[in-house]
Amino acid sequence: MTDAADNAEKLVSIEPATGEAIWEHPIGDVDAEVAAARAAFPAWAQEPLAVRAEALRRFANTVRAHQNDFADLIARETGKPLWEALTEVEAVVNKVDISINAYSERSSQHRFEGALGAKVSLRHKPHGVLAVLGPYNFPAHLPNGHIVPALLAGNAVVFKPSEKTSATGMVLTKMFHEAGIPAGVVRCVIGGVEQGKALAAHPEIDGLLFTGSARAGVSLHKQFAETPQKILALEMGGNNPIVVWDAGDTDAVATIVAQSAFLSAGQRCSNARRLIVKDGMEQKLLKPLLKIVDRMIVDHPLAKPAPFMGPVIDNIAADQLEAAYAALVAKGATVIRPLERRDPALPFLSPAILDVTDVADRPDEELFGPILQVIRVPDFDAAIAEANNTAYGLSAALIGGSPELFERFWTFVHAGVINWNKPTNGAPSNAPFGGVGLSGNHRPSAYYAADYCAYPVVSSEAEQIRGAIATGLRDWQDPNMVED
């Protein structure tokens, strides 16, 4: 007899650097996973906070014990260099203590005096079953940034990893279970777009925590407009500006720009997409920047010497980036460094730089890859205007200038992360992370994830029953009163 699982439709994970299949798994059952989480939620929610926190500390230790194998899987499945995958595993571990501290600060219990001797209590409750949709660029760290705070608050979680990095998502889920967190409390749905839509629309979830593209986020926002009782946290992308102005050390500046634009092969939502410089000063910056770009190693994630960046996630992404690059060139962009693909069968792309100053109808898109667009402006007011020339608002950075200039930049630029003399990416995990506009729905993640994983409940409490109505009642002796 043939096993039913052998006939089931399977999801296959492809290693970007080689094009080879490295993992497969049957497509999951969304209804069954949500039902399992719903059944497990009450017992988990009733556990003391200290018990849940200790369970998550065991999870951190479990991840630490498997860090090398886990990093190897992340590197192979995403294409990111092994050194970067190791930093992602470290972030997964560190998220636990950060979340415990954040919960204590953002969701702690408070008691204070109320009217007439009553006590007022402020506590927080979990929502119930929360769905988590994860991205492929940080397939462990970013969903983990939702899952850990959600579990700590007492929720059960149904997690659907990206169909492009599902092996990492499944291993992450199994490590929660290995740490002793009940299997029903963290469920993993393997599948593609169809399963993601089914999970988001499932009537038995109490909210959705999403990291992904603006297009998908906008669609979810419309969908959830008719279910205001459900929490929706959207962490989306950005068309992020990095402004270089009155900067001294051009080598250091070029290094920051290169990190901002090309780290993770440009596949971070906080990567710089637009380099804004004073007209006439661009060559002073481009010369050292091009030296760095020309030295960047683009190779297999496990190659020696270690590469700066690997491939983008797959050939579909590479094709889309090549098409977007070609469209900019066709519209009049000047090529400073071309986007090159050494093997059309694999998604390795070289870092590209274009001057798009004279492109009149530049699309306001997040080009999720190693393409940096240079825009020359006449003055700092124009630099701020250009920085804000986007519907997104995730991250921005000013490189150079004085404290007064940065204060002006901070005041007028629309973004959730605004840095000075630091890259646009690499935000600290012990601070909130999120943006405005098409970058988020005012539910910042990271340290502030505690805010959307539990809701506040206020109680007025008294040990004795007392009731009084001081105004608006007839006198007891009123002849118009009718006795029962």
Which positions are catalytic? 235, 269
How long, in residues, is the chain? 484
Q: 146: closest CA among 439, 426, 453, 434? A: 453
Taking each helix axis from N to C terminus, what angle separates 282-295 and 250-262, rounded to the nearest 10 degrees? 60
DSSP 101-124: HHHHHHS--EEEE-GGG-EEEEEE
The number of CA neighbours under 13 Å toward the Cβ of 280 is 3
Rg over alpha carbons for the chain, rounded to the nearest Å, is: 26
Query: At 127, is the secondary structure helix, strand, or coil?
Result: coil
Query: At 229, is the secondary structure helix, strand, or coil?
Result: coil
Measured distance CA(405)–CA(401) in Å, rounded = 6
Query: At 453, is the secondary structure helix, strand, or coil?
Result: helix
Strand partners, 72: none
For 107, 112, 121, 324, the CA distances from 459, given in Å and listed in that order, are 15, 11, 5, 55
Q: Using omega within 30 degrees of 0 as the cis cutoff, is the peptide bond preceding 135 cis?
A: no
Neighbours of 348 (CB within 10 A): 22
Report how far apart the first and last C-alpha atoms of the chain are (Å, whole number): 77
Measured distance CA(11)–CA(27) in Å, rounded = 6
Measured distance CA(368)–CA(239) in Å, rounded = 9
